[in-house]
A = this chain, B = another copy of it.
Amino acid sequence: MGKGADTKQAIVERAMGVASLVGLEGLSIGALSKTLGLSKSGLFAHFQSKETLQIEVLRAAEMYFIQRVVRPAIAEPRGLPRVRALFERWLGWSERQLPGGCIFVAAATEYDDRPGPVREVLVQAQRDWIETLARAASIARDEGHFRPDVDPRQFAFELNAFTLSAHYFHRLLAAPDSAALARRAFDNLVTRASTHP
């Protein structure tokens, strides 16, 4: 990778932190150049447009998310350990990875009514995440950790719900018990799904 690619990568990483705080829509090239202390023309040379920048940030965030949440979780034993790792690693990601918490949670409401290429990249990433959760639940069923009547998509909906509510209690309400509430919700969900509660 040449110097240009390194610089671009460094800008995308810092832009990701900014976007976690102000939203992807707040990532104008002008505002970013001020925040990062870089020239506007330099940023334009790398990204051409705000939309390109937003898509690069989203793609980079997805790559990080896969590296730090999905892949290590998938390396856990099949079944419940893997399901639990996905949830725990999501909590860790949202609490520690970026200053404004999970960038996808913020982007989800920013782009739900904003059609276009940024939304398409986001929706695909989020469908993949729900699919990853459902597949993990399905494997837990195959392994006999979960009951045969557990619906993987329903399980994914409920697990995803607890990540969203954890983000809301933590970042909006500043509730000190947000992680405890999220873990107990997860345990309740798993107990209900399990063959041997």
Contacts and interface: CB of A to CB of B under 8 A. Distances in A.
Nearest to A100: B113
Q: How many copies, total?
A: 2
Interface in A19-34: 20-23, 25-26
* Interface residues of chain A: helix, strand, loop or mixed (majority): helix
Contacts of A157: 165, 169, 181-182, 185
Interface residues on A, range: 35 or more
Contacts of A108: 109, 168, 172
18 contacts: A20-B113, A23-B110, A25-B26, A108-B109, A109-B109, A112-B172, A113-B171, A123-B172, A126-B172, A126-B173, A130-B173, A154-B188, A157-B169, A158-B161, A158-B165, A158-B188, A161-B165, A188-B192
